Amino acid sequence: MYTISIDNKNEIIIKNSKFIGLIYKLDNADINTILDHIRKEYPDATHYCYAYIYENSQKSNDDGEPSGTAGIPILKVLEANNLTNTLVVVVRYFGGIKLGANGLIRAYTKVTSNLIKETPLVELIDGFNLDITFDYSKIKEIDYLLKNEKINNKTFDNTITYNISINKDFLDIIKSNNITYKNIKEIKIERTI
């Protein structure tokens, strides 16, 4: 499973129609806010077709294009690339020449495929988010142990607490080093590919 590492944009023109592809990483499911922003940024566009996959849900929308010619082709490209937590919006400015159903399917597929090829991806792997607590005397040892892991937050009190995101294998290392941990949650973590 993959997601994108950065939002991106591309543009193609097919028979005088301009197709602007926009791809967004979804950290939360506030898709309507993104769509409202796009409608304001491109107020004169003819269509705002989109598809997304977010965790266990997905949706596509043709926004006035003939049924099944825009949103579903976008969604199929997302699925074919094994993407999640990703939204693709294709803004279309009609150029005066009708493309027909097959032409529209090809156009929306092409702009989405090109957009994904031009966007860096990261792999999502099973992992955990947890807090580890340790004494000040162990800070160098723990920092060395975590040198390649994601430390989300550090709290310094009577003891030190780090909130970390780690893969499944690293949890075994935490356990084998007798490091106290709590608040463990299963998550997907990103690994650069």
Torsion (CA) 114, 115, 119, 123 in degrees, nearest 10: -90
In this structure, are 35 and 113 located in the same domain? yes
Which of 119, 141, 174 lies at the terminal end of a domain, its last residue?
119
In this structure, are 85 and 107 located in the same domain? yes
Q: What's the confidence (pLDDT) of residue 24?
A: 97
| Alpha-helical runs (H) found in 31-157 | 31-41, 71-80, 100-117, 139-145
Q: What's the confidence (pLDDT) of residue 29?
A: 64
Number of folded domains in the chain? 2
Which of 60, 94, 119 lies at the terminal end of a domain, its last residue?
119
Burial class (CB in 10 A: 0-12, 13-18, 19+), 95: middle
User: The CATH number of the domain where 72 resides is what?
Assistant: 3.30.230.30
In this structure, are 17 and 100 located in the same domain? yes
Q: What's the confidence (pLDDT) of residue 28?
A: 74
Residue 62: which domain range?
Answer: 2-119
In this structure, are 46 and 135 located in the same domain? no
β-sheet bridge partners, residue 51: 60, 88
Which of 71, 93, 119 lies at the terminal end of a domain, its last residue?
119
Q: What's the confidence (pLDDT) of residue 92?
A: 98
**146 residue type, one letter:** L
**23 residue type, one letter:** I
In this structure, are 150 and 165 located in the same domain? yes
SS3 content of the chain, % helix, strand, coil (to 5): 30, 45, 25
Q: What is the pLDDT of residues 107-123, one digit of tens each?
A: 999 999 999 999 999 99
In this structure, are 97 and 29 located in the same domain? yes
Q: How far apart are CA 168 and CA 126, in angstroms?
A: 7
Q: How far apart are CA 53 and CA 24, in angstroms?
A: 11
In this structure, are 139 and 92 located in the same domain? no
Low-confidence ranges of the chain (pLDDT < 50): none
Model-level pTM?
0.84
**136 residue type, one letter:** Y
Q: What's the confidence (pLDDT) of residue 190?
A: 86
Torsion (CA) 143, 146, 148, 149 in degrees, nearest 10: -130
Tokens of residue 161, six digits: 């607490």
User: The CATH number of the domain where 145 resides is what?
Assistant: 3.30.70.240
Other C-beta atoms lying within 10 Å of the C-beta of residue 22: 23
